[in-house]
Amino acid sequence: MRNGVTKDEIREALLQLAIYCGIAAGVEAFRLAKEVITEHDAQP
């Protein structure tokens, strides 16, 4: 997000990951991304 990638672009990349790496990896990636985005949004 600091390099200009939007939340929608991250979501699309993770959807592709889920297709190629498997649903379990995709679910974990979405969980981690949500955590990171929440922390990023909380910063001043």
DSSP string, 16-31: HHHHHH-HHHHHHHHH
Q: Where are the domains of the chain?
A: 7-42
Residue 26 CA to residue 4 CA, distance in Å, equals 22
What pLDDT does 3 receive? 87
Residue-wise pLDDT for 1-44, tens only, equals 788 999 999 999 999 999 999 999 999 999 999 999 999 999 88
Output the pTM of the full model.
0.80
Q: Sign of the CA dihedral 1, 16, 26, 11?
A: positive
